[in-house]
Each structure stands twice: as C-alpha cells, then as structure tokens.
Chains A and B, each alone.
Chain A
Amino acid sequence: MSTDDNNAYGDLDKSKGVVMKELMLGNKAVARGLYEAGVCFVSSYPGTPSTEITEEAVRYDDIYCEWAPNEKVAMESAFGASLAGKRAFCAQKHVGLNVAADPLFTMSYTGVNAGFVVVVADDAGCHSSQNEQDSRHYAIAAKVPMLEPSDSAEALAFTKLAYELSEKYDTPVLLKMCTRVAHSQSIVEPGEREEHTKPYEKNIAKYVMMPGNAKKRHPIVEERTRALTEYAETGPLNRIEKGTGDVGIITCSTSYQYVKEVFGDEAHILKLGMTNPLPVELIRNFAAQVKELYVVEELDSIIEDHVKSLGIQVSGSNLLPRIDEFSQNLIAKAFGRETTSGTALEDAIPPRPPVMCAGCPHRGMFYSLKKRNCTVLGDIGCYTLGAVAPLNTIELTLCMGASIGAAHGFNKMLGKASEGKTVAVIGDSTFMHSGMTGLANVAYNQSNSTIVILDNSITGMTGHQQNPTTGLNIKGEPAGKIDLEALCRAMGFRRIRVVDPYQLAECDTAIKEELAAEEPSIIISRRPCALLKHVKHKPPLAVDPEKCIGCKSCMRIGCPAISMKNGKAVVDATQCVGCNVCSQLCPKQAFSSTAN
C-alpha cells in the first residue's frame, strides 16, 4: 500500500502505522482525547463554548454519550460511571459548573474509582454568556487539579494525561477550556484507544460522606494537594522556554499564544499547563533567572496573586485589563511594543446584533406580550433576544431557570399590582434544566404567577440538542419523552393551555385570560424551531406594493426578512419561511403567499 495523498487527514496509513496530522477544533480534540483515554461514559448539558465536545464524542461507538437535563445531573451520572469502574466525563460551560458545583466539592473528598475528568469552558469576552466568571476559582475552592491547554494538540494530550492524574492521585480533574481554545482549529496527531477499567468495590468510609467519614477524608485531600504541588514542580505540564533578554513572562492557556506571537524568543516564558495547584519552587527559580517578571493571564489575577504571595515582585494587573479577552495587539500595547492598525471609513457603520430568525416561533408570543404591556421576566436561550429592539420585552435575564423563581418573588411582594401583568418566559430545555423546581415553588407556596413555556421542541441557542421533552436521545433515536402538560398537572396546576405562537389572536386571548385568572397558570407556546431540518416551511410571502400603505405595522415584530424599500414593505424571499405572523398585523391584507 502506498500513501494516498487523497486520504482525508487523520486517516491511519496502516502500512506504516503512522497517524496523519489533522486540523482539529479544540473541542473535537478533547473528544479525541476521551476516545484515546478509553473513556466509556459522557454525560453533559450543552453550553457554548463546550457543546461540541459531547457532540464529537458521540461519534465514537466505544463511548456511551447522553444529554442530561442539567450539569449537576450530568456530573453525578458521570461520577456513577466512574464509581462503576469506567472512565467517565462531563463537559459544561463556566456557568454550568455553578450548577454542578455541589457534587464537585464533595467528589474532591471521595475521590474516584476509574478516572473522572470534567471540562469547564470559560468565555472571556462574553461571546455567548451572561457573565465572565473565571473557573479557576473552583479548582482552588474544591481543591482539585486543573489543567489548561493552549491549543488543540494540548487539548488532546492534556485530556489523556488528566485521566492518568485522576487515577494516580484519586481525584476528579478539571480541564479548563476557553472560547479561543475550544473554538479554534489547530494541528493534532491522533493516536490509538487504550481501555482502562477497574472493578467496583464497596467502600463506605471513602464514598459515604457523612460527617465522621468526611472529616477523615479531608486530611487526605490536603495531602493530595501537597503531592500534586510536587508534581506541578517537575511534571511535564509546566515548562520553561528559554529566550533572550531580561524579561520573564508566566502565562497559560490562550494567553501563551498571544505572548509568543508578540515576543517570539525575545522573552523567557514559564508556560503553565497546570493552574491548580500552582508550583512554588519552579516559579522562584524562574523569577531568579529574569530581571523583570510579568504574569499574562485572562480574567482574574490568580497566578499573579500566587507569585506575590511568595514575596516575589511581579507585574500584570497594572498593565493588563481584568475584563474581556486578550489579543496579540492588546499585549503588544501593554508592553509598549509596536502595534498594527488599519483604515476605517468615515461612515457610521450600523451595528448588527443577533436577532430572532425569520419564522422564529418565539416572535409571535413576544409581540403579544409587548402588546399587553406585560412585565416579562426572562431566562436563558434564543428567546433572550426578546429583550432587543423592536420587541424590547424581557426585563430580566439572570441564569438558567431564574424566570420562574423571580416571577414568584416579584408577585408575592407586589401582589395585585403585578399579578395581572407579569409573566415568566422559559424555553422547554431550560425548563427541564432548572425551571421545574421553580415551578414546584409556585405550586407549593401559591403565588398567583403566570408561566409561559416557550416550547420549540429543541435546545436552540447551542445549536439544536435534544432534551427530555423532545422524545429523542443525543443520537436522534427514540427516547423517553416528558409530557409538559401532565407534569404541570401533577404539580397541581389547573390552568394549563397550549397555544400556537404563529396565531397572534390565540396568544393574545391566552395571555389576557391567564393573567386575569385568580390562580397560578401555565401557557405552553408550542411550535418547533424554524431551523429544524424536519420542519416544513411554507412558500415565502410577498407584499403587493399597490396595497401596502407603508404604515410599518409589520415592522413591529422585528423580522429580519422584512424591510422598507421606497416606503413599501419588502419580503426577502431567501429568508421568509411563510410563518404569516407579519400578515396578521397588516391592515390592508398586502401580504400573500408566493405559492398562489
């Protein structure tokens, strides 16, 4: 067999046993690492920028993968798999780890059976998140090791190494990704899978964390941190790259790449692949070799504070921002180096914020809520876009599931003044994630609240993942299906109604009647996401310019397929899916289907 240049990269050239290089997304490289490390179980809840790890892992037949209802359940399920003796994994975004923090902190005490690795993906720059929290604090607080890859090759290698460390030191290991590592492609060399399984053995003192046992596990955790610190001093994850000149820079993750881009070999670099626990002697020795010492790290000054705590003089926070992500120009500027710049036009360039898609089923419901001047307490999902112009309807977005709890507290305090006009809106996936417990509170403590479940039959924002209400599993195969109406009835709600958000009159009546009711109520606004492949679209609409009077009534729904040209409404046929919501607003019946 000869090497065939037409082979896709990543294919094995079996005649030589050589693995070809492949350009791979950071998240896909983690999934490849899971495969090679012999991982058998993956359970996650989607969240940008972590989602693709689980979506890529499911392509390997040797790995069982699932979407769990939320991150806490995912982590507990993965822990169960580790306990059973199979290498296990879960992934989440930074805020997902807030949800899963409870099991993490005590898993630190129990340790693991088979290796257990958890990805947490930070989002410096808030590309797709509600905050910019730095997950390294969790590693410190939970006393578990954290590894931070800086590109795809490291993502693969660190994932495999994380499993070795997990089993050697009997600990869950956090693998911290960030948007620029998770969503960048760089070159990797895939390897082979190795199986690793262990028997399950009953061990009450290790796994039953009641006070007497937990107290005995805590010293083991402290000793483990001491041993891991020793590993950090000499292990392969932290390395010094000798440079020229007097400047020394301690850095990690994607910041390392920006530092290399700016300084090349002109600075000495201590590249930390393990950011908890941090080494002591390695840093002292490095600091002693350079005249000026800097730390370059995104978000909080965790490494810098550690260096300072060793009594070493260091700069970083005084030069670099603690907000947003870095780039090569940002670092060059901070160090007084030459930066590049380009030309701009004098024109004001209008912003292009994300919008609800043409045919989005959320639009009709938000228009109806706006029309009734409702106070809308929102949640996390595509429908958060109900807060932007021209709908401007959502008045609160906090975290997964918060809409229902917030509406409950709001109505309890304002009573009649708010009950008749306040609603919580929450998507089907977010409701399964953590809306159910909020709803239990409404049912139990009886606030007169109206909850709108925006059921688009998918987890939309993260790119169409199945959830417990869709009846399909991560592979699109038939699975259990939770009946939302039956669930709400079981909690004791009597007023539950289902509406089609493409029918504005139906939405309006439901909102009016449920807000007027003297008891808690649920409106399920049900229609699948217009982007789903199985959703059949109607032919696009067109505007009859003779009938259009240019009143802009149709513009009030903020559909990206409608614009005004020469005083008349025009429909972009490439975007329009024929949902007909605009047509219900037209006083002159100017819209008609192009099918006729």
Chain B
Amino acid sequence: METKNIIIVGVGGQGSLLASKLLGYLLLKQGYDVKVSEVHGMSQRGGSVVTYVRFGDRVFSPVVDKGEADFIVSFEILETARWLSYLKPGGQIVTNTQQIDPMPVITGAAEYPAELVEKIKRKGLKIDAMDCLSLAREAGSPKAVNIVLLGRLSHYFDIEDAAWQEALSANVPPKFLELNKKAFALGKSLTQ
C-alpha cells in the first residue's frame, strides 16, 4: 500500500498530541508501519501547531510535505486555511469551525478572514466542517474537541468501530473514558 498521510493542525494546547497518539496506536494495531511527528516546546504556547501521521507498508520520512496529505484534521478553521496547501489533490478535510483569534488579530494588526469554509468549498476541495466545540460540550467537556474530530474522521477509514473503541480505551485515562466515548459517538453520528 502506498503511504497515507494525515496532518493534524490546531492551536497549541488544543489536544492534538492525544489525537496523534490515538491514531498512531490504532494504525499500528491494523498492522501498518507508522510514523508520527510532533511539535513540543515553544510553539505549544498558543502558536500554530502541526502533527504528522503517516502509515503504510514502509514509512521513511516522519513529516508530510505540501500536496501530500490525504487528510487534514483541523481543530480551528484559520489553521485549516493556513495548512491547506498540504492537502493532496482529492484529499479530505475534517475540520472544527471554531475560531480562535491569533494575537495579530487581537491587537488589530490583522483581520481574521471571513467565510473560510465557503472559500475552501469554492476551491473544489472536500471539506467536512462542524462545530466540534458544541459537540464536545454536549459530551461533557470542551476539551473533547479532539475526540469529536476523530469520531468524524472514522467515517473515512475502513476500520471497524471496535478497533477505534479499543484505541480510545487504551489511550484515554479511565475516568474520562465515558466522556470521550460519547464525544467520539457524537462526532461519528454527524451527517454532512
């Protein structure tokens, strides 16, 4: 199998490390060679962050380049736009519609671009956009945005639900498992 690429993007502190850990675990269990590349340190302080997940028969590079991503999984819509050029032609975007103002917007030095989902659609790109924050709150915590997104992403994978559930159980602290299972189910039950 040709190597498949996922990039997970968002704002530092939003929980992308758990999402990549869970995906890595799941894909390894499916028998793939897997590499995950993360960002630690300064950029985690509210900066733009990206995590790369690659899987296939044999994976070499740990990073994903422009035009290579089969999936962009995004925690925030401006970050979706920022990393858009990483999407492969025909690739799928799964994104939260939440807006978090970056400091240049807060200080008035820049404007937050309007109607990003519409603009991405007009480019003919496949975008599955949803308000993950509301769903995460419904599940019991605004921090479960990452799991809502994974629930949605599971639609695009030919991997049975039991495997996702097992990956959840193995990577989420037991006291938050029910909450996260609910978040996963809410993300999964969405229809476009």
Chain A positions near chain B (C-beta within 8 angstroms): 5-6, 8-9, 21, 23, 25, 48-49, 51-52, 127-128, 151, 180, 183-187, 254, 257-258, 260-261, 327-329, 339-345, 347-357, 382, 385, 388-390, 461-463, 552, 555, 558, 560, 562-564, 574
Q: How far is the CA of A353 from the CA of B44 in the complex (A)?
A: 10
A183 pairs with B113, CB closer than 8 A: no
Contact A353 B103 (CB under 8 A): yes
Given B85, B110, B166, which contacts A350 in the complex, CB threshold below 8 Å?
B110
Which residues in A have their C-beta under 8 angstroms from that of B110?
348, 350-351
Contact A340 B67 (CB under 8 A): yes
Given contacts A127-B43, A352-B102, contact A328 B65 (CB under 8 A): yes
Which of B62, B88, B101 is in CB contact (< 8 Å) with A342? B88
Complex contact B78–A350 (CB within 8 A): yes
Q: Give which listed residue, A261, A357, A389, A390, contacts B45 with CB less than 8 A.
A: A357
The answer to whether A342 touches B112 (Cβ under 8 A) is no
Contact (Cβ within 8 A) A127 B66: no
- Count of B residues near A, CB < 8 Å? 64
* B33 sits at the interface (CB 8 A): yes
CB of B46 within 8 A of CB of A345, answer no
Which residues on B sit within 8 Å (CB–CB) of A353? 47, 102-104
Q: Are B45 and A356 in contact (CB under 8 A)?
A: yes
Could you write out 21 A-B pairs with CB less than 8 Å apart?
Answer: A5-B29, A8-B170, A48-B42, A184-B36, A185-B38, A258-B60, A261-B60, A327-B63, A341-B67, A342-B87, A344-B84, A347-B113, A349-B81, A350-B113, A351-B48, A352-B48, A352-B78, A353-B47, A355-B46, A355-B103, A555-B107
Across the interface, which residues of A come within 8 angstroms of B170, CB to CB?
6, 8
Partner of A355, one of B36, B40, B41, B45: B45
**Alpha-carbon distance A183/B84, docked complex (angstroms):** 23
Give the chain B neighbours of A48 by CB distance below 8 A: 40-42
Interface contact A351-B65, CB-CB below 8 Å: no
Contact A351 B102 (CB under 8 A): yes
CB–CB B45/A23 < 8 A: no
A562, B81: Cα distance in complex, Å? 23
Which B residues are CB-close (under 8 A) to A6? 166, 170
Alpha-carbon distance A234/B170, docked complex (angstroms): 43
Other-chain contact of B40, A183, A329, A342, A351 (Cβ < 8 Å): A183
Asked if B46 and A329 make an inter-chain contact with CB atoms under 8 angstroms apart, the answer reads: no
Contact between chains at B45 and A340 (CB < 8 Å): no
Identify which of B119-127, B173-181, B182-190 touches chain A.
B119-127
B69 to chain A, nearest CB (A): 8
18 more contacts with CB within 8 A, not counting A341-B67, A351-B102, A558-B106, are: A9-B28, A180-B37, A183-B39, A184-B36, A187-B34, A327-B61, A327-B65, A329-B68, A340-B68, A342-B85, A342-B88, A350-B78, A350-B111, A355-B103, A385-B45, A389-B109, A463-B41, A562-B106
Instruction: Compute how far the CA of A21 lies from the CA of B33 in the bound complex, rounded to whole angstroms.
Output: 11
Confirm or deny: B140 has a beta carbon within 8 angstroms of a beta carbon on chain A.
no
| Interface residue from B41, B46, B65, B82 paired with A349 (Cβ < 8 Å) | B82
The residues of B that contact A261 with a CB separation of less than 8 Å are 60-61
Q: Are B33 and A187 in contact (CB under 8 A)?
A: yes
Given A327-B65, A340-B68; A354-B42 close (CB under 8 Å)? yes
- Whether, in the assembled complex, B11 has its beta carbon less than 8 Å from a beta carbon of chain A, the answer is yes
A52 to B39 CA separation, bound complex (whole angstroms)? 12
Is B12 part of the binding interface, using a Cβ–Cβ cutoff of 8 Å? yes
Distance to closest chain B CB from A594 (angstroms): 15
A186 to B43, Cβ gap below 8 A?
A: no
Known: A258-B61, A343-B87. A352 touches B47 (CB 8 A): yes
| Bound CA–CA A462/B41 (angstroms) | 6
User: Are the C-beta atoms of B48 and A23 separated by less than 8 Å?
Assistant: no
Q: Which of B79, B87, B111 contacts A352 (CB 8 A)?
A: B79
Chain A residue with the shortest CB-CB distance to B98: A574
